[in-house]
Amino acid sequence: MSDRAVELHNEGDALYGAGDLEGALASYLSAAALAPDRAPLHFNAGNLYRLLGKFAEAISCYDAATALRPDFAMARHNRALCWLQLGDLVTGFREYEWRKACPGFDDPRYRLERPWRGEPLNGKTLFIYPELFQGDLMQFGRYAVLAERQGARVLLGAPRHMHALLRTMSATIDLIAEDETPSGWDFQCALMSLPAAFGTTVATIPRARSYFRADPARVARWADRIGPEGFRIGVAWQGSPLAAQRSFPLAGLHGLSQIPGVRLISLQKHAGLDQLDRLPAGMRVETLGDDFDPGPDAFQDTAAAMMSCDLFITPDTSVVHLAGALGRPAWVALPHISDWRWLHDRADSPWYPSARLFRQTARDDWPSAFAQIEAAVRVLAA
């Protein structure tokens, strides 16, 4: 690679680190033009196109990278995310299998024999092991029920603290520890490989109105605590620190708190609670006390409290999957370019019929999303 190509590549890295995505892209494209035989240069340009929401251009760059290096797993993985975001779920989930060769995807169970790829399941035992995060298990756990309906006995691995919630999907799914590899199964499948095995398209996403259930005793308890007054909006504002760009500042909901009759009720757990001590003047957010979801079974009180909220507002966090799986009205504030599961330029979600999506109109512009939400809440609260 020429010295000038190296300079342009390094310049692109520096501009990207400074947050200048357009400048970084221009540098990467110039470097790739000088060294078209270098797959990483096409890959880097594809990544910038993807971050800018130019998915067709990103796919073209990843095509160039994989033409030079067919085993370039990260390029194939990132290209899969583009197809998924554009709604081509069949191609996207098929290519997403390349994650298993990517750094960070190191579960040894990827190498188990007898992977399930859509064979008949009647009378068979299917072992499903989890991947990624809690929200992914909530979103894609629905496929365990689908497999059971096809006649399978299902063994579903999951963190112990989620067993109580997941058991509400089906009392006959066998829940086991998340790191357990049982014996006696006919097929095994990673959680995120289930959509590919089922041949999922946007039209065939399993979209039951709800597939989780809140505990009735807890529902009654939190209904009494929350009370019936006002227009009750449950809120969460911060998700995993690994995806900080999806979280929004709680203070951004100040306008909502000023709408007559609106009550903001915190359903936030763990990180982000310190923001409750730094609210703007006149902003009130109710909290539910230290006995809110304190035990070993996660999300039980959160699910119950959601049943007493008229609406739930959140960024892209695990609890939006909980609300969607419960069939509760959930409004999701999204970055300008969202995670692939929310598709592209849609205000609804085929994964969750009860969800409504509000996107930033420009990168890092949370006020634009909040303005849309506030206008819509004013209509409802009236």
Let me know if 91 is exposed, middle or buried by CB neighbors in 10 A (0-12, 13-18, 19+): middle
Element at 147 (helix H, strand E): helix 142-149
Q: Are 14 and 36 in contact (CB under 8 A)?
A: no
Tell which residue, 176, 231, 265, has the closest CA to residue 377: 231
Structural domains of the chain, with CATH = 3-101 (1.25.40.10), 108-200 (3.40.50.720), 216-381 (3.40.50.2000)
Q: How far apart are CA 281 and CA 156, in angstroms?
A: 48
pLDDT digits (tens, 9 = 90+) for 152-161: 999 999 999 9
Distance between CA atoms of residues 212 and 150, nearest Å: 20
User: In which element (H, E) is residue 190 found?
Assistant: strand 187-190
Secondary structure (DSSP) of 206-218? ---S------HHH
The pairing of strands 187-190 and 231-235 is unpaired
The pLDDT assigned to 244 comes to 64
What's the pLDDT at 381?
80
- pTM score of the predicted model: 0.93
Q: Would you report the helix, strand and coil content of the chain in percent, each value rounded to 5?
A: 50, 10, 40
Residue 77: per-residue pLDDT: 98
Give the SS3 label for residue 63.
helix
DSSP letter, residue 115? B
Q: What is the pLDDT of residue 360?
A: 95
State residue 122's pLDDT score: 97
Burial code (b: 16+ CB inside 10 Å, e: under 16) for 155-169 equals bbbbeeebbbbbbbb
The set of residues, in sequence order, having a beta carbon less than 8 Å from that of 28 and lying 6+ positions away, is 8, 9, 12, 41, 44, 45, 48
Q: Which stretches of the chain score pLDDT less than 50?
A: none
